[in-house]
């Protein structure tokens, strides 16, 4: 069970994955270098995927996903 602090809300629009808000710099609606098919592979935690946020170049290791959240390997403490 991954703690809620590690979760990042996301949306899929067309063929792109957007973070609702960047946990590092606060930018809203950030398009992630991630495809919906890769989110599907994350679900269940069998695959891991690193993403670099285009807004501030912070790197995040994703370890799981569900229908609403991407789950990171560390807490995302929002300001
Ligand atoms: Zn950012």
Tokens representing residue 75 in the block: 């807490």
What is the Å distance from ligand 1's center to 41 Cα? Answer: 24
pTM value surpassing 0.95: no
As a whole number of angstroms, the distance between CA 15 and CA 6 comes to 24
Does 78 reside within a domain?
Answer: no
Closest of 79, 65, 68, 71 to residue 5, by C-alpha: 71
Does 18 reside within a domain?
Answer: yes
What is the Å distance from ligand 1's center to 33 Cα? Answer: 13
Does 79 reside within a domain?
Answer: no
Does 9 reside within a domain?
Answer: yes
What is the residue range of 45's domain? Answer: 4-72
- Which ranges in 1-79 belong to alpha helices (H)? 36-42
Does 16 reside within a domain?
Answer: yes
Render each residue's pLDDT in the chain as its tens digit; 79 residues: 667 899 999 999 999 999 999 999 999 999 999 999 999 999 988 899 999 999 999 999 999 999 999 999 999 976 5
DSSP secondary structure code for residue 49 in this structure: E
| Domains identified in the chain, total number | 1
Residues that place a CB less than 5 A from ion ligand 1 = 22, 24-25, 27, 53, 55-56
């Amino acid at each position: 069970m991954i703690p809620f602090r590690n979760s990042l809300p996301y949306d899929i629009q067309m063929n792109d994955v957007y973070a609702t808000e960047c946990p590092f710099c606060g930018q809203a609606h950030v398009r992630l270098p991630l495809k919906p098919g890769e989110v599907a592979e994350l679900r269940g935690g069998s695959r891991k995927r690193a993403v670099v946020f285009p807004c501030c170049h912070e790197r995040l290791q994703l370890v799981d996903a569900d229908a609403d959240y991407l789950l990171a390997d560390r807490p995302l403490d929002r300001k």
